[in-house]
Amino acid sequence: MQKKTIKAMMHNFGPGPCVLPQEVFKQASQAVLNFNGTGLSILEISHRAPEFEEVVKEAERLVKELLNVPEGYSVIFLQGGASLQFSMVPINLLADGHTAAYVDSGAWANKALKEAKLIGNVNVLASSKESNYSFIPKDYSIPEDAAYLHLTSNNTIYGTELHNFPKSPIPIVSDMSSDIFSRQINVADFGLIYAGAQKNIGPAGVTLVIVKNDILGKVDRKLSSMLDYKVQIDGGSMYNTPPVFSIYVAMLNLQWLKSKGGVAEIEKENIAKARALYEEIDRNPLFKGTCAIEDRSRMNVCFVMENPELEKPFLKLAESRDIVGLKGHRSVGGFRASMYNALPITSVHVLIDAMQEFAENNV
């Protein structure tokens, strides 16, 4: 019987679920067998067990510490992904007869505003849709009478990122699914932040929400308990059975981030990774970027080839170098190198070496 070849460590540029640190995998795998010496797996332990209640408290504490969350904000872990937040935000914040302001900067921003329109009035302040979302809209005025301003901080499909948030007279709500914990932010500038976990927080299955308490409770509609932020806050993220394993691994990943020096240090690494790859894209005659230079994302680098016929051969070369997850989204084509926190810069240099080798053989 032929033995199976064990793959070497892969260079994972996939857009999500994200690459996670090896030490997190090791800790999580041990907990699957025996969680904290309880004799039970983390997959079977009661979410009401004191041991797991401590996990939720520790995860919440780490979020507050790593992002310097000020007093007056609540941190909760929910289900349904960022997509459910597209509805929860207007349900909780958009009162009847009022209007919410949205900036349409990508596919997920567009989905968010479509869901909000099912709840109430939406004013789309600006959009880059006609340019295939190749830039972040900036030339717009924020209405002072709107309930909130919704922004998407990073657009994974198109490779754009909002590097500077506007000064706003109304609460800012931001979908930070793909760049939260990758850079320093001032949480006090936001009314609500939400993020699916599967980019920089942990595995898919849990969603982080950070909300300023005093923006809640201002709508007259009756809210379903599962969709009511106040109910979820009062329940300590456990109004119903939470995604136990996803929260546990998220806690481990946040502990890893803290051990790395926190968000400030990981931001330096992310800047270095993005700079190295964009420099190669701009230098290499076979490749070119797809979006406005000033809006280039550090998390999701989108690029194409000058000659599209060379894309498949390059992907084949990349795969031979154990580079995976590089194929671009169908809306953009080409390639997308997602470089979340746990991706080491050595993987970026492996990709750069492959690009240079391909150019040497095809120019």
The residues carrying an active-site annotation are 108, 175, 199
User: Rounded to whole angstroms, how far apart are CA atoms 284 and 21?
Assistant: 30
User: Rounded to whole angstroms, how far apart are CA atoms 327 and 139?
Assistant: 32
Instruction: Give the contacts of 293 (CB within 8 A, at least 6 positions apart).
Output: none
Instruction: Give the contacts of 236 (CB within 8 A, at least 6 positions apart).
Output: 56
CA triplet 92, 87, 182: central angle to 5 degrees?
Answer: 95
Q: How far from the centroid of its chain's Cα atoms is residue 301's Cα?
A: 14
* Three-state DSSP class for residue 292: coil
* Three-state DSSP class for residue 232: helix
With contact defined as beta carbons under 8 Å apart, do 205 and 246 qualify?
yes
* Three-state DSSP class for residue 19: coil
- Which residue in the block uniquely carries the two structure tokens 């709107």? 146
- Which residue in the block uniquely carries the two structure tokens 């979908």? 175
DSSP string, 329-363: PTTT-SEEEE--TTS-HHHHHHHHHHHHHHHHHH-
Phi, psi angle pair for 188, to nearest 5°: -65, -15
Provide the terminal-to-terminal Cα distance of the chain, rounded to the nearest Å.
45
ω before 17 within 30° of 0 (cis)? yes
How far apart, in Å, are the Cα atoms of 54 and each of 8, 128, 204? 36, 44, 21
With contact defined as beta carbons under 8 Å apart, do 61 and 55 qualify?
no
ω before 242 within 30° of 0 (cis)? no
